[in-house]
Chain A
Amino acid sequence: MLSFFMTIRLEYLKWLQSLKISLSKNLNYKINFLLMMVIPVLVYFAIKYNLWSSIYATNSAESIKGYTLSQMIEYQFWILIFELFVRSHFFSRNISEDIRLGRISVFLLYPFGFFNYQLSLFFSDKLIQFFIGIFSFFVVVTFGWIDIPSVGILFRAGVFIFMVSAFWFFAQLLVGFMAFWLEETWSINISIRFISAFLSGFIVPLDMYPEIISKILLWTPFPYLIYIPVRILMGESIDVVFSLFILFIWILILFVCIQLVWRKGLKLYTGAGI
Chain B
Amino acid sequence: MIECKKLSRDFKIYTKKAGLAGTLQAFFKRTYYINQAVKDFDLNLDSHGLIGLLGPNGSGKTTLMKMFTGIIVPSRGTVEVLGEVPSKRKNSFKRNISLVMGNKSQVWWDIPAMDSFLLFQRYYEIEEKDFKRRVNDLGERLNIKSLLQVPVRKLSLGERMKVELMACLLHEPKVIFLDEPTIGLDIASQKNVRQFLKDYYEEKKPLIVLTSHYMADVEALCEKIILIVKGEKRFDGSIEGFKEGFRKEKTIVFNFDEAIANFPEKWRERFYCDWNQDKTQLRIRVPEKELKSVTVEILNQYSVSDFHTEKVSVEEVMDDILSHH
Contacts and interface: CB of A to CB of B under 8 A. Distances in A.
Interface of A: 20, 23-24, 27-28, 30
B23 interface: yes
Nearest to A273: B153
7 contacts: A23-B23, A24-B19, A27-B23, A27-B27, A28-B23, A28-B27, A30-B27
User: Helix, strand, loop or mixed for chain A's interface?
Assistant: helix
B153 to A, nearest CB: 9
Nearest to B110: A183
Q: Which 6 A/B pairs are nearest by Cβ-Cβ distance?
A: A24-B23, A27-B23, A27-B27, A20-B20, A30-B27, A28-B23
Contacts of A27: 23-24, 26-27
Interface string B261-301: 00000000000000000000000000000000000000000
Contacts of A24: 19-20, 23
Interface in B14-46: 16, 19-20, 23-24, 26-27
A28 B26 CA distance: 7
A20 B24 CA distance: 11
Contacts of B16: 28
Contacts of A28: 16, 23, 26-27
Nearest to A28: B23
Most buried by A among B19, B23, B24, B27: B23
A131 to B, nearest CB: 13
Contacts of B27: 27-28, 30
A27 B26 CA distance: 9
A23 B26 contact: no
A20 B19 CA distance: 8
Nearest to B26: A28
Nearest to B18: A24
Contacts of B24: 27
Contacts of B23: 23-24, 27-28
A27 B23 CA distance: 7
Contacts of A23: 20, 23
A118 to B, nearest CB: 20
A141 to B, nearest CB: 26
A23 B19 CA distance: 10
Contacts of A20: 19-20
Given A20-B19, A24-B19, A28-B26, 13 more contacts: A20-B20, A23-B20, A23-B23, A24-B20, A24-B23, A27-B23, A27-B24, A27-B26, A27-B27, A28-B16, A28-B23, A28-B27, A30-B27
A185 B16 CA distance: 34
Nearest to B16: A28
Nearest to A20: B20
A28 B27 CA distance: 6
Contacts of B20: 20, 23-24
A30 B20 CA distance: 14
Nearest to B28: A30
A274 to B, nearest CB: 15
Contacts of B19: 20, 24
